[in-house]
Amino acid sequence: MTKPLVLVTADVKPIDGFNWHAVNATYLHAVLKGSDAIPMILPSLGPELDLDAALDQVDGVVATGSRSNVNPVLYGQEPTEANGPYDPDRDATTLPLLKRAVERGIPVFAICRGMQELNVAMGGTLLTEVQELSGRKDHRAPVSEQQDERFRIAHPVDVAEGGTLEDVIGSEPFDVNSLHRQAVGDLGSGLVMEARAEDGTIEAMSVKDSAGYVLATQWHPEYWVSTDGPSQKLFSAFGDAVRAYREKRLGL
């Protein structure tokens, strides 16, 4: 049987006078090796794309992280220069993509910005510049030119009882990395908290009573998928979900 296909969301990057649609290769390798699936980059073309036609061809969606933030206007707040950069073409693509994938029961794994996109797509809000909020820790990446240092394991998370994450990882707290300025505020419709950091920041969520597998993490399991046990379990579980969806889709 051929391997499942997974859509991977892309940033729009201005390079040499052109708009390039780009994905960090760590996500592609994590899908390929960690989930045993074929990653397919989805360009952020907004309304030009027929998202249902794209989703008809695939077995899962990975919503990636990014340096850009979801534009606050999309959840009723004012954008600021300090909170940028923004990527309007990505917002116009990934938010409707994720909502439609959830509705159709297509497996979704949303990471960092992807988790924030999922929350906004489902009607939720975000907290901007978490490090400036009273009682919250600084969740930004360490300042370093070494990626291993930027993505180093930073703090523990507590797993919610009875949820999808507990099924995948287990009930004990475990350590994750941290590279974000925004975080989930009010949960969107149907979303449930799956893990929290010590300061109360929501670190993982899922969709209650969803038609398919949906899990989102604020941290970056794709970076350590070859060596970190929890990261491996997350991509393996997603791979199991996309294979099951493919068998159902094709009537195998």
What are the pLDDT digits (tens) for 14-55?
Answer: 999 999 999 999 999 999 999 999 999 999 999 999 999 999
pLDDT value for 204 = 98
pLDDT value of position 136: 86
What span, in angstroms and rounded, lies between the C-alpha atoms of 47 and 112? 24
Q: Which domains does the chain have, with CATH numbers?
A: 5-250 (3.40.50.880)
**Distance in Å from the first CA to the final CA of the chain:** 9
Give percent above pLDDT 90 in the chain. 86
pLDDT of 139 above 80: yes
Catalytic one of 132, 155, 220, 247: 220
Looking at residue 21, its pLDDT comes to: 97
Residue in the structure block whose two tokens are 């998928």? 225
State which H helix or E strand residue 40 sits in. Answer: strand 38-42
With 0-12 CB in 10 A as exposed, 13-18 as middle and 19+ as buried, what is 202? buried
Whether residue 1 is predicted with pLDDT greater than 70 in this model: the reply is no
Of 117, 194, 203, 222, which residue is the catalytic one?
222
Q: What is the pLDDT of residues 201-225, one digit of tens each?
A: 999 999 999 999 999 999 999 999 9
Amino acid at 83: N
The answer to which of 50-54, 70-74, 145-149 has the lowest mean pLDDT is 145-149
DSSP state of 73: G
* Number of DSSP helices (H) and strands (E) in the chain, helices first: 7, 13
Q: Is residue 103 flagged as an active site residue?
A: no
pTM: 0.96
Average pLDDT over residues 168-179: 95
Active-site residue among 112, 139, 194, 203? 112
pLDDT of 187 reads: 98
123-128 average pLDDT score: 95
Please answer whether residues 211 and 100 qualify as being in contact, where contact means their C-beta atoms are separated by less than 8 angstroms: no
pLDDT class for 143, splitting at 50, 70, 90? confident
What is the pLDDT, as a whole number, of residue 82?
86
Closest to 116 in 3D by CA, of 106, 107, 128, 105: 128
Lowest model confidence (mean pLDDT) among 89-93, 132-136, 148-152? 132-136
Question: Known catalytic residue: 29?
Answer: no
Residue-level pLDDT at 131: 84
Task: Please indicate whether residue 220 is annotated as part of the active site.
Answer: yes
Task: Say which residues have a Cβ less than 8 Å from residue 45's Cβ, sequence separation at least 6.
Answer: 89, 93
Confidence of residue 141 (pLDDT cuts 50, 70, 90): confident
- Is 143 or 41 the better-scoring residue by pLDDT? 41
